[in-house]
Each structure stands twice: as C-alpha cells, then as structure tokens.
Structure 1
Amino acid sequence: MNALRSWLFRLVFYAGSVPIVLVVPIVALFGQRAMVPYAHLWSGYHRWAARALLGVRTRFEGELPAGPVLYAAKHEAMYETVELQPLLRGPAVVLKRELWNIPFWGWATRVYGAIPVDRDASAAALRQLVRDAKVAREAGRSVIVYPEGTRVPHGEAPPLRSGFAGLYKALGYPVVPIALDSGRLGLRAGTVTPGEVTMRLGAPIPPGLPRREIEARVHAAINALNARDASAGEA
C-alpha cells in the first residue's frame, strides 16, 4: 500500500507541477515580489499532495526570529527544500549551480533570489558565494543553506562543507540551525511511510565565532534529531 501511495504521489505531484512550472517565466517578469509568493503556492500544492496521498505531515517546532538570520538546515530529502521556504518566510536559498543551467527554471531561481554554489569549492567559487551572499544581506533578507552539501540518509552526519564558514563570516548574521528527520519516513527513497516530519529550529548562534566553534555547534544542532532517534532505539 505504501508503494502504491508513493507512486500515486509522484504522478499527481509532478503532473500538477507541469502547468505551475510553465507559468514561472511569466511570473518572473514581474520580479521577486511576484516570484516568491508564486513559488510558495507550489509549496502549498506539495504540502497538500504529501498529506493527502502520502499521509505525511510537518510538525514545525520553534519560533521564527524577528530579524534576518542564516538558517542552516539538515538535508535528508527534497521534502524540506520545498516545505521550509514558506515556513521561513522566503529566505534566499543556496542552490547547486547546476540548477541555474536549467532553461527558464534557472532564470526563475535568480529572480527568486537564490545563491548559486559550485560543488568544487574552489577559491573562486567561494569568493563568488560570498559576493552573492552580500547582495542578500544588503537587501536585509535571511538566507538558508544546507551546510552538509547534499542529501544524506537519516542517521548519517557528514562534516560541513567549507563554504558554510565563509557564508557565515560574510553575512555576519546569527545562525539558526534546523534539525529534521524527513529521511526517517523514506522520503529520500522510493517508498514513503506515513507519519510526521519534525522540523526543529534551534537557539540562535551569535555571529563572529571562530570557524571551528561555529561548525561544531551547527553540526551538533542540525543532527539533534538523529541523536534523539539513536537514544530511543537504545531504550
């Protein structure tokens, strides 16, 4: 039954996304003020499909900060990349540069205010990341990054990518870590188990900390739900 529900979700969500995506270039002509709420409309469609067809709901824990921050989130599935944008009021998002090369879609992400990052993490790529981050800072906009760099199975905790520390320093924002457990339900895999995804905002971490300290604190905070699940398993 779960496999059937998962295939039905893919069919309905992706088929329904086609007309939404086709309209994106037109919406993008009206700039970021139009693009952000339109993207969140797509997020709402995703949320409906996940609830109705997969039986997956989101529990959002914590309070949103009053000013701009750097959100650092765990990444276990596509689920959180779609769900977090409206929940966090549309922060600029750090994306793989490859996504910018998709016709029309790449242009739309630029209008939305996405910040591209190269996988090679070269010195030139990191300098460009810092320049793009400063544009978001000048606009007074929050930024979200997935500092482990890629989706990982639930329970794994790879080290943070080198670009995170540069982004933290360039923005001068407090960091709000986000722990989540979407991978626990199989949202990264083929068959999804109904249940609840927890997205937990941690306490803000101040700007200006040494690299080793900020990376250690963020790494521990975004993996907090992994530790919880491990403790539950031992019990």
Structure 2
Amino acid sequence: MLFLRSLAFNLGFYALTTLVALGCLPALVARRPVLGVARLWARGTIWLLRVAAGIRVEFRGLENIPKGPLLVAAKHQSALETLALCAIFPEFAYVLKRELLFIPVVGWYLSRGGMVAIDRSKGNRAMALMNAAAAEAIAHGRQLIVFPEGTRRPTNAPPVYKQGLSHLYAALRVPCLPVALNTGLFWPRRGFLRLPGTAVIEVLPPIQPGMERAAFHATVLERIETASNALLDAGRAELAANGHSVPGPQAETAARSPAAR
C-alpha cells in the first residue's frame, strides 16, 4: 500500500507540475502572475500529498511573519519546503544557483519571477552581485528565502550553515525569519517512498537586524536546529506509532552540541 500511494503521488506530482508549467505560460508576462502560478502549484501539491500519500502539511507560527521585506532562513531537508514556502510568503524570492535558470520552462518561471541567482563562475564578484540583486528584491518589499546549508541535508546529519546567510543579514539590515521543519522524514531527499504523517513547517520569531555577524550566525543556527530537532523527534514518534522506521538521530547528538555550533 505504501508503495502504491507513493507511486500515485509521484505520478500525480509530475503530471501536475507539467500541467501547471505548460498551461500557465501566459503568466510569464510579469513577475506577480508567475508568483501566483507558484502558489497554485504549491497548494495543488500540498493537496495531492494529503489525498494520495497521506501526508498532512501543517504550518505553525504564521503569526510570527511581520509585514514588509524579510530575510527568511529555512532548514532544508526535502523538496517539500521548496514549494510549500511559496504558499505563505506572497512576494517570495529564492536565492538559488544561476544554473537553474537554464532549465527549459522551469528556468523561464524562475527568471520572470525575479529569483536571486548566484553566478559562481564570477568568483569573488559573485557575492557582490548577489548582494546587489538581493538588495533590489528587498527594496521591492520581497521576502528573500535562503537555505543556509545550501542543499538538502539528511534528517540525521549535523548542521553545516554557510556564511552567505550572515553576509546577507549584515548587508540587507532587515529582520531574519528562521524556519524549522521535519519534512525530510515524510518526503526524503532522493527517495521514492512518501511516508504518511504530519510534516510540520514552523515559522519562528524574527531576529531583528543589528546583531554582529558571528553572534547572528550562532543565534540563527541554535534556533533553527533546536526547533527542527524537536519536530524531528515528534515526527519519528508518529512514524514509529504507525509502524514505519526512519533514520535515527545518531548525528543529531553532534548537532545539539556546542562544538557543532
């Protein structure tokens, strides 16, 4: 049954993605219609997860989202949060690799949606160019979404936060909104199966601008990891109660230790 439900979701997800991407091409005329298409895709996928795979996506702490431009720092375990965050931030802009802009059709949406692309081929200039693009997005009142670890990480892996987030925090001088989650338990990276349960995405209280970079780095890591570990513990307990085994928290001991921070 788990295999069949996972198969049904995966087939439905790719069908939905193709239908939305091709059917909404007229939206490419401007940024805001593109963001609307992304929200449609996100909400459709969240519905499909619940109906086909038995995964309920729960958003917590939405009252912590202030109005205006923001720097959003999210834990990254799964493809799920990549699309789910589109549903709660009306003017979102992702920081992403420039190479993604060259993907047929998908790259068109990313480009027209005003995402902030990092051109790593520029070497030392890449950070300055990213700062300029990020500052322009913030000037337009957007919510700039960053995955501080740069890529999806296994749920039992210790945190590896890069310095790009603290660099943006110091340069942009806007509140930083940490986001914790346990999505990797239910939609694992590089995995076919979708395990039924409650995938939680929790928005934490914002960190106001003005902190020293090292102090900010330690603070945002502590808040995201502490909250994510609690969500992972609850998610593992739910999965175990339903008879599903998942990777244990062996490496999370290191994630919770001062040395890891």
Q: Given the two structures, how large is their TM-score scaled by the length of structure 1? A: 0.91
Q: Verify the 8 A CA contact 1:154 1:226 in the aligned structure 2.
A: no
- Residue 129 of structure 1 aligns to a residue whose secondary structure is helix
Matching residue within 220, 224, 227 for 2:226: 224
Aligned to 2:11: 11
- Residue 169 of structure 1 aligns to a residue whose secondary structure is helix
Q: What amino acid is aligned across from residue 42 of structure 1 in structure 2?
A: W
Aligned to 1:45: 44
Please give the alpha-carbon distance, in whole angstroms, between the structure 1 residues aligned to 2:180 and 2:135.
Answer: 25
Aligned to 1:55: 54
Aligned to 1:192: 194
Q: Verify the 8 A CA contact 1:181 1:225 in the aligned structure 2.
A: no
Please give the alpha-carbon distance, in whole angstroms, between the structure 1 residues aligned to 2:122 and 2:89.
Answer: 27
Shift of 1:13: 1.3
Q: Verify the 8 A CA contact 2:21 2:105 in the aligned structure 1.
A: no
- Residue 205 of structure 2 aligns to a residue whose secondary structure is coil
Deviations 1:91-129 (A, max 9, x none): 111122221111332232121121112467932111111
Shift of 1:69: 1.3
Deviations 1:45-66 (A, max 9, x none): 1111111011111111111212
Please give the alpha-carbon distance, in whole angstroms, between the structure 2 residues aligned to 1:35 and 1:115.
Answer: 15
Shift of 1:24: 4.1
Deviations 1:127-178 (A, max 9, x none): 1110110111211212111111000111323321222122112211111100
Q: Verify the 8 A CA contact 1:121 1:163 in the aligned structure 2.
A: no
State the aligned residue count.
Answer: 233
Aligned to 1:201: 203
1:103 aligns with 2:104: yes
Q: Verify the 8 A CA contact 1:174 1:207 in the aligned structure 2.
A: yes
Q: Verify the 8 A CA contact 1:157 1:223 in the aligned structure 2.
A: no
Please give the alpha-carbon distance, in whole angstroms, between the structure 2 residues aligned to 1:155 and 1:220.
Answer: 16
CA RMSD of aligned residues (A): 2.1
Alpha carbons of 1:225 and 1:85: their partners in 2 closer, same or farther (altered >3 Å)? same
Q: What amino acid is aligned across from residue 19 of structure 2 in structure 1?
A: P
Please give the alpha-carbon distance, in whole angstroms, between the structure 1 residues aligned to 2:187 and 2:23.
Answer: 31
Alpha carbons of 1:226 and 1:61: their partners in 2 closer, same or farther (altered >3 Å)? closer
Shift of 1:198: 1.1
Structure 2: stretches of 5+ with no match in the other structure = 238-247, 250-261
Counterparts of 1:51-130 in structure 2 under 5 Å?
A: 51-62=50-61, 63=63, 64-118=65-119, 122-130=123-131
Alpha carbons of 1:172 and 1:158: their partners in 2 closer, same or farther (altered >3 Å)? same
Structure 1: stretches of 5+ with no match in the other structure = none
Moved over 6 A (4+): 231-234
Please give the alpha-carbon distance, in whole angstroms, between the structure 2 residues aligned to 1:161 and 1:117.
Answer: 14
1:28 aligns with 2:46: no
Q: Verify the 8 A CA contact 2:80 2:187 in the aligned structure 1.
A: no
Q: What amino acid is aligned across from residue 122 of structure 1 in structure 2?
A: G
Shift of 1:78: 0.3
- Residue 126 of structure 2 aligns to a residue whose secondary structure is helix
- Residue 35 of structure 2 aligns to a residue whose secondary structure is helix
